[in-house]
Amino acid sequence: ALTAMASTRLFLRASPVKSSLTGLTGGVRSSLGLTLLKRSPDCTAKPKAQRRHAAHFSYHPDPAPTQYGPTQKMNLFQSVTSALDNTLAGDPTAVIFGEDVAFGGVFRCTVGLRDKYGKDRVFNTPLCEQGIVGFGIGAAVAGATAIAEIQFADYIYPAFDQIVNEAAKYRYRSGNMYDCGKLTIRSPWGCVGHGSIYHSQSPEAFFAHCPGIKIVVPRGPVQAKGLLLSCITDQNPCIFFEPKILYRAAVEQVPTEAYQIPLSQAEVLQEGSDLTLVAWGTQVHVLREVAAMAQEKLGVSCELIDLQTILPWDTETVCKSVVKTGRLLVSHEAPVTGGFAAEISSTVQEECFLNLEAPISRVCGYDTPFPHIFEPFYIPDKWKCFEAVKRMINY
């Protein structure tokens, strides 16, 4: 039986507001999507007095890559579209499916692809996340490159059984006779400034406990395209979480041709000698500001690492950094208890115990449902992280 929330979602997604089309490239197709995009950091929120929608970080674009050919200015959702376009063009077995993807999706990540490649390759599904992933498993087993979209990461839970008990174990249980490694699941992820409990969650830790899948979170457009293409071509089922607050706020020069960024390789964004900062997705930009504050106010040199792949994660890069700095701070938006920061902390404690100069610090969300008006107090902002830096230096 449908729950009250599912019934509400079904009603909203079937309402005339959702189905009113305004042209292929203009606007979004739901009042929720429109609200989220209008109130993203680089868009104008109405009324302007609603200052709580301001971003809790500043986005600093990466330098334009030169090794992958010509580039074009893209935001994060456009870089995702570009990756999907490259895949559909180069792989005749590739299909994209999910709720509302045919007309571009609520965040516009698939805009124009149905018209370009046809309704048999880019198509809508019923409102049933378990069915979306189950269909994707079957398509991948049959040999197709299956790219499924879960409209929000908060709604991935109905598909949990299909991901954990089926997709992740398909190769193992058949003795490698069969697999669904050509399955990739995309989903908008993380806080957005006003998403409340059902449009703000970061569920990566739930899946990190499950061998057989890979989990990836990019920090910007260049990484989003390269990592997504790596997920799509990887021979294991992958979950690709996209920080939705960055869909329009993050703008970089992105290569137009297909390229890949290796999975399970963290990236050292800033070298330092006194303290290691580790994050992924949006939180990387928060810690970038923390590193600058620590240098300016405390004279502390921070090494900043973007983990990029949550599972399997790059233990070598992180531990090598901690051996050098003697201190580690890990930060993510998800609740602190059982969050992936705990796994990183445990591994580093086991591997680098004699090198540690202070207890490892986790600066994360609280152990509460994600709040609405209290989001500014919930998120692990730069001030909370900076206080943790001071505690570790003074330990």
Quick check: 294 pLDDT over 60? yes
Q: Which entry of 99, 129, 343, 375 is annotated as an active-site residue?
A: 129
Q: CATH topology of 66-255 equal to that of 267-394? A: yes
Quick check: 98 pLDDT over 70? yes
Region 224-246 average pLDDT: 98
Give tens-digit pLDDT for 251-265: 999 999 999 999 999
Say whether 238 sits in a helix, a strand or coil: strand
Q: Which entry of 56, 149, 166, 199 is annotated as an active-site residue?
A: 199
* % of the chain beyond a pLDDT of 90: 86
The confidence band for 14, taking pLDDT boundaries of 50, 70 and 90, is very low
Q: What is the pLDDT of residue 261?
A: 98
Report domain extents, the chain: 66-255, 267-394
199 noted as active-site residue: yes
Q: State pTM to two decimals.
A: 0.87
Token pair listed for 166: 């089926």
CA distances for 148 relative to 84, 169, 198, angstroms: 11, 18, 20
Residue 78 burial (C-beta neighbours within 10 Å; 0-12, 13-18, 19+) = buried
209 noted as active-site residue: no
Quick check: 290 pLDDT over 50? yes
Q: What is the pLDDT of residue 376?
A: 95
Quick check: 10 pLDDT over 60? no
CA distances for 38 relative to 35, 74, 128, angstroms: 5, 18, 27
Q: What is the pLDDT of residue 51?
A: 52
Confirm or reject CATH 3.40.50.300 for domain 267-394, answering yes or no: no
Half-sphere exposure of 116 (CA within 13 A, CB side): 16
Task: Tell me the CATH number of domain 66-255, given options 3.30.450.60, 3.40.50.620, 3.40.190.290, 3.40.50.970.
Answer: 3.40.50.970
| Sequence-ordered list of residues with C-beta below 8 angstroms from that of 270, at least 6 positions apart, any chain | 288, 291, 302, 303, 304
Would you call the peptide bond into 47 cis, given omega within 30 degrees of 0 as the criterion? Answer: yes
Alpha-carbon distance of 279 to 209, in angstroms, equals: 18
Region 57-81 average pLDDT: 96
Q: What is the pLDDT of residue 352?
A: 98
**End-to-end Cα separation, the chain, in angstroms:** 54
The confidence band for 35, taking pLDDT boundaries of 50, 70 and 90, is very low
* % of the chain beyond a pLDDT of 70: 86
